[in-house]
């Protein structure tokens, strides 16, 4: 598979879009991660 400058725009854009969604829902993401961590730590 060829990865060149033309491939970079979609790849960089996908990463940027994911970062944007993370920032938008930051509190929910952090809350969900904390919840999962607490569940995981209780099980172990």
Partner 1 sequence: MTPATDAGRSPLRIVRVAGLAAVFAGAGHVLVMGAKSLLLGQFIWSSRDVVWMAPVGYLLVFGALAVPLALLAALRPRWVPQAAVVFLYATAAAFSVALLFPRIHPIASLLVAIGIGVRSAQSARDAGSGWPRLARSAGGTVAALLALTAVGMRGMRAWRDDAAWRALPASADGAPNVLYIILDTVRARNLSLYGYARPTSPNMARLAAEGVTFDYAFATTSWTLPSHGSLMTGVDAKELSAAWFVPLDDSTPVLAERMAARGYRTGGFVANHVYTAWESGLARGFHTYEDYLVSLKQVLLSTSLLQTELASELSAARRWSGRMAALRRFNLQVHPAFYSDRKPAERVVDEFLAWEGLASNRPYFAFLNFFDPHEPYEPPGRFRTMFVVADAREIVVAVADAAGRRDVQTAEDVEERGLAAARWAEQDDELAGEEVQVDAA
Rg (CA), the chain: 16
Does 31 interact with partner 1 (rule: CB under 8 A)? no
Local structure of residue 3 (DSSP, 8 states): -
Does 30 interact with partner 1 (rule: CB under 8 A)? no
CA dist 34 and 38 (Å) reads: 6
Look up tokens 């607490």; give the residue: 38
Q: Supply 17's token pair.
A: 């879009």
Does 23 interact with partner 1 (rule: CB under 8 A)? yes
Does 12 interact with partner 1 (rule: CB under 8 A)? yes
CB of residue 2 to partner 1, shortest distance in Å: 17
Q: By CB under 8 A, name the one of 2, 4, 9, 44 that touches partner 1.
A: 9
């Amino acid at each position: 598979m060829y990865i060149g400058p033309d491939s970079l725009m979609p790849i960089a854009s996908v990463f940027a879009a994911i970062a944007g969604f993370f920032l938008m829902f930051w509190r929910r993401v952090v809350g969900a991660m904390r919840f999962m961590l607490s569940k995981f730590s209780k099980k172990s």
